Amino acid sequence: MQNDDPADHYPLYPLGMLRRHGLADAQDLAERLPSWSESELREAFWPAYRAIRVTETELERCGGIDGGERVLQLNGQPIFVSEDIWNFQVRAGAELMAALVAALERQRAASPDIATP
């Protein structure tokens, strides 16, 4: 069945994904770590994600040739990841975001390769 909600169609489809998974008002990783550049977040995110991952399920994906968006269920909680050549964005609820931020900060403290401001 065709959905006529504009949030489910390009270029607004990420809004539909966020709404469907209860992430419309979720925290943004870049806002939680304002001293980190987008390239630092992009490089460090997946290792930090794997460090806290106990369980994972892909709930929804919308991709293109240069990247895309997906919603995963990480440790029972939804997380939105938008990754393409132009931007990198992560949104999650407060509890999951706190765990991600802590993992990223531990990773930065332990690795001389990750720049500090």
CA 44, 107, 112: angle at the middle one, nearest 5? 90
Average pLDDT over the chain reads 87
The string of pLDDT tens digits covering residues 27-48 is 999 999 999 999 999 999 999 9
52 contacts 74 by C-beta, under 8 angstroms: yes
pTM: 0.83
| pLDDT at residue 105 is higher than 50 | yes
CA atoms within 13 A on the CB side of 110: 9
Q: How far is CA 11 from the centre of its chain?
A: 18
